Amino acid sequence: MPLVDLSMVEQRYDAVREVLDGATVKDTATRYGVDRRTLQRWLVRYASDGLAALADKSSKPDRCPHQMAPVIEARIVELRRSHPGWGPRTILNKLRRELESPPSRSAIYRCLIRHRLIQPKSRRRRRADYKRWERSRSMELWQIDVMGPTLADGTGVSIVTGIDDHSRFCVIAKVVARATARPVCDALLEALGRHGIPEQILTDNGKVFTGRLARKPANVLFDRICLSNGIRHLLTAPYSPTTTGKIERLHKTMRKEFFSDNSFETIKDMQVALDRWVVDYNNEREHQALGDVPPIRRFELARPVSLEVIDGDVEAEEEPAPRKKVVSRRVDRAGRISILKHRYHVGRHLAGEAVTIESADGLLHVTHNGAVVATHARRHLVDEDDKMDRRPKHVRRPAQPTKGAEVLRIVDKHGSISFAGTGYRVGNHYRGQTVGIRLVGDTVQISLDGTLLRTHRARHDKTKEFGALAQPKGKPRKVRS
């Protein structure tokens, strides 16, 4: 008998008929290779709707009581497309004003994913993982920084920005051609005259803000303004932009909501449009970090301060004439002197003599007995002139040779001497000079004019020391007939 393929519905119908004819559910389910609970569902469906109920159907429930209404879903999509920068939280705040029972934030998030308006996040940080730091009241701390947008023609400009740490109120938004000291300080003075004087100002370590970290520390104009008005100027740690996180977040909002959709031909046009945006940011735009209220609601609670703003720029006084730096050195045997690890040649004829070195106009003038004997271009920085008196800590005075029996030897052309049939190195600088040799324990000391030059471990034959010491001045030279 040929095999016949039965459809899925026919197989289920056969299983149901067997059970109805008296077979047990367990045995029938085992024979057809399904679970007994599956067979029981087939029986219920067959009893309710007949043979058609045994066909495959979707597992989707017939009704979902908590499903979002199509009208609300359409409104969510409309808000997102009208404002691409709004997320689920912002859309929820808008719907709370329109609906009595708005959907949850997670429902809005899933709705945006279904319509492919946002990308699902693989991992989201928990709210407990975030740490927020802010001052307890307004006008206690301002954060100030500089950002750099461009004009329509690609010309780079700078915007001096400032924000109140507690209220997130934008206190400075000044467009300048270049963020140099005077334009940045003018923007600060304008903000101080409009809003008052804060207790502290936090900035990064830029040169326009501070000169404390420079090679030669100084008070720049920004520091002088803070000092004159009683403001404590705080600095962030190097390479720590998260310390000024609120002003960095303002820059992100400004790029996303203002510069992404606008282009300007001149600095004046950009400033006019930016002023309008700042007014809306401070007075109308809801800030999530403040509980979805505008920053003005917090900033207006600050106590009015009526203090006169003092400009830190003072009249430039005549700079005193640069003071000449004069030090003294002793010329070594190679005819050189050392200044701050740099060596300068003076002349071997002055070896051992004391000379005077004067630093002026980028030159080093070397004087001996009132006469200039050499002039060199200065190799160190002018700021290091005050360190010319400092001597290297590792340089020590040469040790004195041990007293005792001494023999004399002439340094050969290779910079060595011969003692007891063994050569010992002295140095090429001493070629042709007569040096003294002493035996100290197992070492050989070589000295010149009371100064110890070298110390070597004895390598010669001990039996030949008597002959070497017996002729202190060496063997007499043979005279040819």
198, with CB counted inside 10 A (0-12, 13-18, 19+), is: buried
Residues 377 and 424 in one domain: no
Residues 148 and 293 in one domain: yes
Residues 118 and 162 in one domain: no
pLDDT band at 248 (very low <50, low <70, confident <90, very high): very high
Structure tokens at 171: 């206190």
For the ranges 22-36, 57-71, 315-329, 377-391, the lowest mean pLDDT is seen at: 315-329
Q: What is the pLDDT of residues 60-102, one digit of tens each?
A: 777 777 788 888 889 999 999 988 888 898 899 889 888 888 9
Residues 146 and 282 in one domain: yes
Q: Do residues 281 and 201 make contact, with C-beta atoms less than 8 angstroms apart? A: no
Q: What is the mean pLDDT of residues 203-232?
A: 87
146 located within any domain: yes
Residues 103-138 pLDDT 10s: 998 999 999 998 888 888 766 666 666 667 788 888
* Residue 148 shares a structural domain with residue 260: yes
Q: Give me the pLDDT at residue 301, please.
A: 84
Q: Is residue 438 part of a domain?
A: yes
pLDDT of residue 317 exceeding 60, the answer is: no
Residue 397 forms part of a structural domain = no
Identify residue 412 by its one-letter amino acid code.
D
Are residue 85 and residue 152 in the same domain, yes or no?
A: no
CB 264 within 8 A of CB 152: yes
Residue 12: Cβ-neighbour burial (10 angstroms; 0-12, 13-18, 19+): buried
Among the ranges given (45-49, 207-211, 413-417, 471-475), the one the predictor scored with the smallest mean pLDDT: 471-475
CA distance linking residue 278 with residue 285, whole number of Å? 10
- For residue 253, what is the domain's CATH number? 3.30.420.10
Residue 25: both structure tokens together: 């559910």
Mean pLDDT of 367-389: 79
> Do residues 147 and 101 share a domain?
no
Torsion of CA 467, 469, 470, 472, to 10 degrees: 120
- Residue 36's alpha-carbon distances to 39, 43, 46, in angstroms, are 5, 11, 15
**Packing angle between helix 36-49 and helix 25-32, nearest 10 degrees?**
100
Structure-model confidence comparison of residues 224 and 402, the more confident one: 224
Is residue 475 situated within a structural domain? no
Same domain, 108 and 41: no
Which pLDDT score, from 0 to 100, does residue 395 have?
A: 46
pTM above 0.75, yes or no: no
**Is 110 within the bounds of a domain?**
yes
Average pLDDT, the chain: 83
136: in domain: no
> Residue 115 maps to which CATH number?
1.10.10
User: Is the model's pLDDT at 202 over the cut of 90?
Assistant: yes
Please check whether residue 191 lies inside any domain of the structure. yes
Q: How far is CA 144 from the centre of its chain?
A: 18
Three-state secondary structure readout of the chain: CCCCCCCHHHHHHHHHHHHHCCCCHHHHHHHHCCCHHHHHHHHHHHHHHCHHHHCCCCCCCCCCCCCCCHHHHHHHHHHHHHCCCCCHHHHHHHHHHHCCCCCCHHHHHHHHHHCCCCCCCCCCCCHHHCCCCCCCCCCCEEEEEEECCECCCCCECEEEEEEECCCCCEEEEEEECCCCHHHHHHHHHHHHHHHCCCCEEEECCCCCCCCCCCCCCCCCHHHHHHHHCCCEEEECCCCCHHHHHHHHHHHHHHHHHHHCCCCCCCHHHHHHHHHHHHHHHHHCCCEHHHCCECCHHHHCCCCCCCCCCCCCCCCCCCCCCCCCEEEEEECCCCCEEEECCEEEECCHHHCCCEEEEEEECCEEEEEECCEEEEEEECCCCHHHHHHCCCCCCCCCCCCCCCCCCCEEEECCCCCEEEECCEEEECCHHHCCCEEEEEEECCEEEEEECCEEEEEEECCCCHHHHHHHHHCCCCCCCCCCC
Does residue 394 lie within any of the structural domains? Answer: no
Q: How far apart are CA 118 and CA 152, in angstroms?
A: 30
State whether 107 and 45 are in the same domain: no
Quick one: 257 and 186 in the same domain?
yes
Please report, for residues 92, 219, 311, 313, the alpha-carbon distance to residue 228 in angstroms, rounded to integers and kept in the order given: 48, 12, 7, 10
- Residue 94, amino acid: K
Widest CA span in the chain: 148
> Residue 183: pLDDT above 80?
yes
Higher-pLDDT residue of 426 and 450 is 426
Q: How many domains does the chain have?
A: 5
- Domain range enclosing 443: 407-470
Mode of pairing for the β-strands spanning 342-345 and 336-339: antiparallel
In the predicted structure, residue 481 carries a pLDDT above the cut 60: no
Q: Are residues 220 and 245 in the same domain?
A: yes
Q: Are residues 74 and 47 in the same domain?
A: no
